[in-house]
Structure 1
Amino acid sequence: MSKELTTKSDNSVSHLDDYRAPVTYRPPTDIFDLGDKLVIELDMPGVAKDDIDISLEKHVLTIRGRAKTSDRDGWKMIYSEYGEGDYERAFALSDQLDEAKIDAALKDGVLRLELPKAESAKARKINVKAA
């Protein structure tokens, strides 16, 4: 459908698809292996720290967030393509990760999770003894 704007007699702007259904975004994600831990970075623009929920149940790490539009005093919104919506992503974790030590931080719209590897999963050197 075309997204043309039309001018009404009262000089406001009308949009042909004014109704928006609730949106759930799947945040773009990068995963890195740093040897002793995995790092997951998720792009979640518009989500505040207090609007993020991270849960871990039965080896499934679930990340949810809510992007809210900001109210601006004295401003009247006449058109917006960026709306409110939810972010959601889930990852199945192996038992090779230390789930008790998972850490998360949000900076500049990027959620970064650090998942340390369990001691049993870390690379180690095995010494050879003379027989």
Structure 2
Amino acid sequence: MVETKELQVKEKQEVSSSTEHTRPGPVFTPSVDIYENDREIIMLADMPGVSTDGIGIDLKEGILTLTGDIKPWEDGKESNVLIEFGIGKYYRQFTLSEAIQQDSIEANFNDGVLKVILPKVAKAVPRKITVSNG
């Protein structure tokens, strides 16, 4: 069986949760890719238009919250001709399992992509057990 992967363009989607309507302006759900290896889970969140100081990562009671503020591109000297780039906030939450070592989470932001590294606790890391004779 041959699997094919299609590249699908996904536009920013506005959050439709009623709890998000209390925030001023539109709130978008960032697209996220999640990868896993033996030692960690790696999360990549697409947040174009956000600067490093506009990123927020909070961890409270096992809930990881990602936020980002999208600022307008103009510096006040331009007049609008066409505006298609959505201005607002990114917001996404994840519930972390006990397999994540929550005090060792790291993150970096480069080229509009937030990378969050979620290390696994030692008991969740697979290990090979050797068998001896006797």
Task: Normalising by structure 1, report the TM-score.
Answer: 0.78
Aligned partners of 2:75 and 2:81: how far apart in 1? 13
| Equivalent position to 1:83, from 86, 91, 95 | 86
| Equivalent position to 1:122, from 115, 121, 125 | 125
Superposition pairs of residues 36-55 of structure 1, within 5 angstroms: 36-55=39-58
DSSP-derived class of the 2:103 partner: helix
Aligned residue number for residue 34 of structure 2: 31
Instruction: Measure how far apart 1:82 and its partner are.
Output: 1.3
Aligned partners of 1:64 and 1:72: how far apart in 2? 23
Aligned partners of 1:32 and 1:83: how far apart in 2? 28
Aligned partners of 1:76 and 1:107: how far apart in 2? 29
- Residues 23 and 85 in structure 1, CA contact (< 8 A), matched pair in contact too: yes
Runs of 4+ in 1 over 3 A off after TM superposition: none
Instruction: Measure how far apart 1:57 and its partner are.
Output: 0.7
The number of residues matched between the two structures is 111
DSSP-derived class of the 1:55 partner: strand
Aligned partners of 2:25 and 2:41: how far apart in 1? 32
Superposition pairs of residues 91-106 of structure 1, within 5 angstroms: 91-106=94-109
- Residues 30 and 41 in structure 1, CA contact (< 8 A), matched pair in contact too: yes
DSSP-derived class of the 1:125 partner: coil
CA RMSD of superposed structures (Å): 1.5
Question: What is the aligned-residue identity percentage?
Answer: 34
Task: Normalising by structure 2, report the TM-score.
Answer: 0.77
Tell me, which stretches of 5 or more residues in structure 2 are unaligned?
A: 1-23
- State the structure with more CA Rg: 1
DSSP-derived class of the 1:127 partner: coil
Aligned partners of 1:26 and 1:73: how far apart in 2? 28
Instruction: Measure how far apart 1:77 and its partner are.
Output: 1.7
Tell me, which stretches of 5 or more residues in structure 1 are unaligned?
A: 1-20
Q: For 1:103, give the aligned amino acid.
A: E
